[in-house]
Structure 1
């Protein structure tokens, strides 16, 4: 009996030592470090961070504000990007690209001088945009025409228009010839062949509604899909559409992934960042919600410093009218800023 009790005691001690890792996910230690003010007026959407060049590209109203990633100092402005949503960077061609939702166009600019080089016609209401290093193409996802405009970064010519069968949101690449995009109104993940510009698969996001934010771990081939409609992050196998898990988040519009820390971040308009950790290719866990600010719904990541950047602004309620019972809050002028989150 004594030997049995002793063995039992050792087992309990071992369980107690393991309990923190088994029962409680290790927190990030992240918090809001500072904010970078941007005094121009207008709404905002995506933010792109390039740690290598130490630049932050912020869509804001009819322009893109470029900030120093460390100090927040203004570096330059890309003007006349009407209704700009996103910014894609192609460093090997020394070019950047903006998706201009109101102009139905893509602005091409020089990454060193920030001079505008060209305007390229897109579909109707280009929203998310990204550069695929594998195919050397820029993909602009058009919300109203429900397709993707594909631009050759070498020539800045449109080489394809891909029908998507629904309203596209964020897109990513696996770096091996496949492109993935969220379809918000059909609750699907669409896989595109970057060589043929053909849709290969449409996978239903069972348990995920209104997917918007998207990130990928290219090493494990896992997609992290932020579904703002039902406040859920879906983790999917990019090879076959298998869903590994669903995790609680907030009203997400953006997702970022840190390949070194193996953390996926969902930026929520309620004022939090939901964190999901990748323990292995097949195992994931919810970590925590980091407090930010209401309206901070999109996110950019510096994978070199592991810091997160979220645009936000103060707003005030608007009285309902007979024509609009639930009006959107009104932005308070001069309150737009970028939140910096890290250790």
Structure 2
């Protein structure tokens, strides 16, 4: 029995090592940003060849031709998401602490007008080219503000019935979002704002990152309990449930490689899952990134992956105002990590 146990442990460790080595991505560049503060989403603008990175109370702008920091958009308290509308020459930023959206000029990076009031805790946002609207998704109660992408005018409020995370689109007028508190992925109409379908993600819990394959009509929801749930976006039926790393907050699908990637901040890994067919998925492996690298974005031109993190210091003592404090962040260590095949 002891020999069998030793052999089994060896086989498992060998299999894990092989999976780790077989992941098709490696670190290409480390882009040092520095400064202080936390982070959330980062967004590639392929037309402008820029990377926008949320960072505390500002947005960092990186030139993807040189991998250099070329500007900063300040006064974005509690920044979460950034979205650009190249045809309108403007970008949009959600500010969770002030319940506002900051609009900025893509050329000058200067603000356009006053911040726009939003629903509570604006988090993710999305520019839908089909409807020519920008959706500012609330992570508290589901009241999501909808803007005219060209002017920033408020067009209405989408009542989505939950705390929204991570949008996607079919490109034909239907948007998809995870509802973190309900454990659901929903579809709604970008024009009427009516919810069209609700699909449970159980056994997945607290979904955040969302990837989408429009060709196969597959949604990929990264859940807090270390599960990726694959859903048929047309029928709402589950297709597969796969294991991922801990602390996932991002998920993307690359149609060129057929890979689904989740960024797992607590594990400090990417989980790479290959779509062998629309009904068959397999975990390729878990590749090391860095602790705290929990969000990611995909450059559709180069198919490179970008995530960000910093070094951690001691965790402050709990207080009545902050009973579960996060670890401190070492000043000057904030950085972007770029991965490719």
Asked if TM exceeds 0.5, the reply is yes
2:188 corresponds to 1:212: no
8 Å CA contact 1:259–1:303 kept in 2: the answer is no
Aligned to 2:131: 135
Correspondence for 2:95 among 95, 100, 109: 100
| 1:15-94 mapped onto 2 (5 Å cutoff) | 27-94=22-89
- Does residue 1:160 correspond to 2:160, yes or no? no
Q: Is the 8 A contact 2:120 2:138 kept in 1?
A: yes
Aligned to 1:284: 281
Q: Output aligned runs, 1:133-282, within 5 Å.
A: 133-228=129-224, 230-250=225-245, 251-269=247-265, 270-282=267-279
From 325, 328, 337, the counterpart of 2:326: 328
Aligned counterpart in structure 2 of residue 124 of structure 1, from 105, 120, 130: 120
Query: Are residues 68 and 163 of structure 1, via their aligned partners in 2, closer, same or farther at CA, if it must alter by over 3 Å?
Result: same
1:154 Cα deviation after fit: 2.3
Q: Larger Rg: 1 or 2?
A: 1
Structure 2 distance, partners of 1:25, 1:295, is: 19
Q: Which residue does 1:17 correspond to in 2?
A: none
Mark the CA change 1:295 to 1:154 in structure 2 (over 3 Å): closer, same or farther.
same
Tell me if the contact between 2:100 and 2:117 (Cα under 8 Å) persists in the aligned partners.
yes
- The alpha-carbon deviation at position 301 of structure 1 amounts to 1.1
Aligned residue in 2 for 1:6: none
Confirm or deny: 8 A CA contact 1:125 1:145 kept in the other structure: no
Q: Per-residue deviation at 1:29?
A: 2.7
Counting matched residue pairs gives: 320
Q: Tell me the SS of whatever aligns to 1:44.
A: coil
Judging changes above 3 Å, is the alpha-carbon distance between structure 1 residues 328 and 134 closer, same or farther for their aligned structure 2 residues?
same
Name the SS of the counterpart of 1:261 in structure 2: coil
Distance 1:159 1:293, change over 3 A: same
Q: Separation in 1 of the partners of 2:252 and 2:136?
A: 19
Contact 1:26 1:287 in 2 (8 A): no
1:92 is paired with a residue whose SS is: helix
Residue 112 (1) aligns with residue 107 (2): yes
Structure 1 residues 219, 92: closer, same or farther in 2, change over 3 A? farther
How far did residue 325 of structure 1 move?
6.4
Kindly state the Cα deviation for residue 50 of structure 1 after the two structures are TM-superposed. 2.1
CA contact (8 A) 2:307 2:337 kept: yes
Shift of 1:282: 2.3
TM-score (norm. length: structure 1): 0.89
Structure 2 segments unaligned to the other structure (5+ residues): 1-17
1:224-267, CA deviations, whole angstroms, 9 ceiling, x for partnerless residues?
11002x11111111112111101111120011221211111100
Task: Name the CA distance, whole Å, in 2 between partners of 1:333 and 1:40.
Answer: 6
- 1:144 is displaced (CA, Å) by 2.3
Query: Contact 1:51 / 1:305 at 8 angstroms: preserved in 2?
Result: no
TM-score, scaled to structure 2: 0.89
Deviations 1:77-102 (A, max 9, x none): 11111111001121222221111111
Question: In structure 1, how many angstroms separate the alpha carbons of the residues matched to 2:21 and 2:289?
Answer: 19
